[in-house]
Structure 1
Amino acid sequence: MNSPEGTASNTGMMLVISAPSGTGKSTLIRRLTAEFKAFAFSVSCTTRAPRPGEVDGREYHFLTREEFEERRENAFFAEWAEVHGNLYGTPRQATLDLLGAGRDVIFDIDVQGARQLKASMGQGCYVFIFPPSREVLERRLTGRGTDSAEVVARRLAAARGEIMDSHWFDHWIVNDDLQLAYDQLRAVYVAEKTRPEYQQAWREGLGRQWGGR
C-alpha cells in the first residue's frame, strides 16, 4: 500500500521528525518512505566537502562558506545550523516548490532545526521519537561499537537537552517496540493527510457541487 499519494492538484505536507541519536528514527523514516511514495526529501546545502561517491545536487548542494553565508543573509534557508564547524541549511523555496507540486516533504532533523522550520514555514506536522529510557539509549549507543565512551556521553547529554525541549512537538512516539512505533508514526501521517488544508482538489469540488468555499 502506498496511499495517500501526492498529486499536482493537492497540497503537500511537511512531516518533521526529530529524535536523539540512537533512538531508531532513521529506521522508522526508511520504512515510512518505502511504503508511501508521495514523500520527497529536500536536498540541503552544506559547506562540508563532498565524501567519495557523493554528487552535488543529489546528497547535498555543496557551497563555499561565503556562498552559504550570502544565501543565509538573503533568507534563502528555512532553517540552518552549524555542526562540527560546517554549515547546513534547508532551501526554503525548493521546499515550497515540492509542497506546491503535491509532494510530502519529510525532514530528519534535530530539535533546533525543527524549531526553526516551524517558525519560518508556519506549517507541518512535528513528531518527536523517544527512547524507552536513558538506560536503553545508552545500551544502544554503546552497542554500536563505533563511538568512544566520551562520544556516547556527549550524545546522552544532547539527548537530555532534546527531550527536555520536546514539549512543543505535535506528537510523541516512544520507540520501545519497533513495529508499534512504526504503526503509530504511520497513523500520524495518514491522519494528518485528512486535514482540509491538504485536500485542495476536494475543497474545489465541494465548491462546485455544494456551493461551499
Structure 2
Amino acid sequence: MTDTPHTPAAPNAGIARRGILFVISSPSGAGKTTLTRRLLKADDEVEVSVSYTTRPPRPGETDGKDYSFVGISTFERMRDEGAFLESAKVFGHYYGTPRAPVIDAIEAGRDVIFDIDWQGAQQLAERARGDLVTVFILPPSRAALEDRLRRRAQDSEEVVRKRMAQADAEMSHYAEYGYVIVNDDLSRAERQLHHILGAERLKRTRQTGLRAFVQKVIGEQDG
C-alpha cells in the first residue's frame, strides 16, 4: 500500500510486529462509526472487531458483518465461559468483543479496531494494556451532538433524549484515553486518527522483528 497524507503510515517493510488493539470511543453521534469506516476503507492492514450484541439489527445491518446478533441466554453463556475480552450493557442491550479472533489477529501483526465505550476500554486495559491504543472522539459542542443524532433519523425522540443524557457521563471519561480528537471537521479528524495509528505502528516495543533486523544490518559489514 502506498502512503498518502490521507492514509496511516505503513509498518516497516519486512520487520515482524505485533498488532494493535485500536479503540475508538465517543458519545453516540460524535462520529466514531463514520471515522472507523473511513479508516477501514483507507488501510488494508486494519480489520474491525465484530462484536456480539443482544440488540435487534438496525436497517441495513448484516449479521456477522456489523454485529453478531444473539439472544440474551447465548450471550450470558459466552460471557460466563470467558469468550469475551470485554462486555458491557448499553441502553438495555449487551455488547461483547470475542476473544479468540482478536488475539489471533494481533499475534499475526494485524491491527484491530474497536468501536466500544469507556467501559469496554477499561476492561481491555485490564487484559491487554500493552497492545492497547485508545482514542476518544469529542463533538465540537453539545448542540452539534444533538443535531447529529436527530439528523440520523434512526432513533425515536425518547432514545435521543436518553443518548443526550448519557453523553455527559461518557465525555467525562475522556481523561482515561491516550488520545483525544475534537471532531469539528470530519476530514481533519480522519487525518489525525491516521497519524496516531501510523506513529503507534512504529513503536519499538511493537516491532518484534527489530532485533533480528538490526543484527542482520550489522552483520552485512562482514558480507
Is residue 105–residue 112 contact of structure 2 (8 Å, CA) maintained in 1? yes
Contact 2:21 2:111 in 1 (8 A): yes
In structure 2, C-alpha distance between the alignment counterparts of 1:147 and 1:64, rounded to whole Å: 22
How far has the Cα of 1:121 moved from its partner? Answer: 1.9
- Gap runs ≥5 in structure 2: 4-8
Offset of 1:44 from its aligned partner? 2.2
With structure 2 as the length reference, what TM-score do the two structures score?
A: 0.81
Q: Does structure 2 retain, via aligned residues, the 8 Å contact 1:196–1:203? A: no
Which of 138, 158, 181 lines up with 2:166 in the alignment? 158
**TM-aligned CA distance change 1:20 to 1:62, over 3 Å:** closer
Matched AA of 1:4: A
| Amino acid aligned to 1:82 | K
Tell me which residue corresponds to 2:135.
127
1:45–1:141 distance in 2 versus 1, CA, 3 Å: closer
What is the aligned partner in structure 2 of residue 69 from structure 1? 76
Counterpart of 1:34 in structure 2 is 41
Aligned residue for 1:105, secondary structure, equals: strand
Does the 8 A contact of 2:19 with 2:105 survive in 1?
Answer: yes
Q: What's the secondary structure of 1:157's corresponding residue?
A: helix
Aligned partner (choices 130, 135, 144) of residue 152 of structure 2: 144
What RMSD in Å do the two structures reach over aligned CA positions? Answer: 2.7
The structure whose RCO (Cα within 8 Å, separation 6+) is larger is 2
- Structure 1 counterpart of 2:40, one-letter code: T
TM-score (norm 1): 0.85
Whether the aligned pair in 2 keeps the contact of 1:22 and 1:140 (CA below 8 Å) is yes
Displacement of 1:81: 1.7
Aligned to 2:6: none
User: Following TM superposition, by how much is the alpha carbon of 1:20 offset from its aligned partner in structure 2, in angstroms?
Assistant: 0.9
Q: Does the 8 Å CA contact 1:8/1:101 hold for their aligned counterparts?
A: no
Corresponding position of 2:10: 4
Q: CA 1:15–1:179 in 2, change beyond 3 Å: closer, same or farther?
A: same
> Structure 1 residue 136: deviation in Å?
1.5
For residues 153 and 80 of structure 2, what CA distance do their matches in structure 1 show?
41
Percent identical residues: 44
Q: Deviations over 1:139-197 (max 9, x none)?
A: 22233344444322211111101111111100000011112111111111111111112
Show the counterpart of 2:32.
25
- Name structure 1 gaps, 5 residues minimum: none
Structure-1 residue corresponding to 2:53: 46
By how many angstroms is 1:104 displaced?
0.4
Tell me which residue corresponds to 2:180: 172
Take 2:61 and 2:128, find their aligned partners in 1: how far apart are those partners? 28
Tell me if the contact between 1:7 and 1:102 (Cα under 8 Å) persists in the aligned partners. no
Runs of 4+ residues over 6 Å off in structure 1: 50-55
Other-structure match for 1:16: 23
